[in-house]
């Protein structure tokens, strides 16, 4: 059995595509439980997204895994490069203060089809803590959000059904 999920055959993972991504913590350890660890990882993700031409439309740090909804911003946006750098940079930052490795090998990705509404995928990502029973309202969870949209705009997803992109 392979360590990594298979990628779509014939799909280049380059360009103006949207992806729902999941990264699991090594041994499914509960790492993302403090604001300091999450902020440090989010800072690295933000820098990596800018450097690789991606927008992080939604993120959710669950205790033992991370969900991202990312969108390529130009024809050169390379998902494989983005993910490789994201995992390297977040791992390096984490290892400065912790002896264990951060991520397990591989990651899961779903290429968001053109007929899938970004709002629906973002809502799914942001409602993970609600489904896990960690909060009663999605925006009560402190380790989720967007690097593009404000908390107020995200709140509109639920309360007013406002469309994003």
The closest of 8, 126, 159 to 56, measured between CA atoms, is: 126
What percent of the chain shows pLDDT beyond 70? 89
Residue 73 forms part of a structural domain: yes
CA–CA distance, 58 with 124 (Å, rounded to integer)? 10
What pLDDT, on the 0 to 100 scale, is given for residue 77? Answer: 97
- Please indicate, yes or no, if residue 7 is contained in any of the structural domains: no
Percent of the chain at pLDDT > 90 equals 74
- pTM as predicted: 0.89
Q: Is the pLDDT of residue 138 over 60?
A: yes
- The CATH number of whichever domain residue 71 belongs to comes to 3.30.70.1290
CA proximity to 55, closest of 21, 84, 31: 21
Domain of residue 93, residue span = 18-159
CA distance 18 to 4: 20
The answer to the question of residue 71 being in a domain is yes
CA distances 133 to 42, 43, 129, 136, Å, are: 23, 27, 6, 7
Q: Is residue 22 part of a domain?
A: yes
Q: What is the pLDDT of residues 75-99, one digit of tens each?
A: 999 999 999 999 999 999 999 999 9
In a domain, 164, yes or no: no
As given in the structure block, the two tokens for residue 117 are: 């509404």
Residue 4 within a domain: no
**Residue 5 covered by a domain:** no
Which H or E run contains 150? none
Number of domains in the chain: 1
How high does pLDDT run on average in the chain?
Answer: 90
């Amino acid at each position: 059995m392979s360590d990594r999920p298979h990628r779509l055959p014939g799909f280049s993972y380059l360009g103006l595509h949207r992806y729902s991504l999941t990264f699991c913590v090594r041994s499914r350890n509960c790492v993302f439980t403090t604001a300091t660890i999450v902020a440090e990882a989010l800072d690295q993700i933000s820098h990596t997204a800018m450097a690789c031409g991606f927008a992080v439309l939604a993120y959710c740090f669950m205790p033992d895994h991370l969900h991202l909804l990312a969108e390529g911003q130009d024809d050169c946006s390379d998902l494989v490069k983005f993910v490789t750098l994201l995992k390297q940079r977040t791992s390096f930052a984490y290892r400065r203060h912790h002896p264990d490795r951060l991520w397990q090998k591989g990651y899961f990705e779903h290429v968001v089809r053109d007929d899938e509404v970004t709002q629906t995928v973002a809502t799914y990502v942001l409602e993970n803590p609600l489904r896990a029973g960690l909060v009663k309202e999605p925006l009560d969870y402190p380790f989720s959000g967007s690097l593009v949209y404000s908390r107020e705009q995200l709140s509109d997803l639920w309360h007013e059904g406002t469309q994003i992109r």
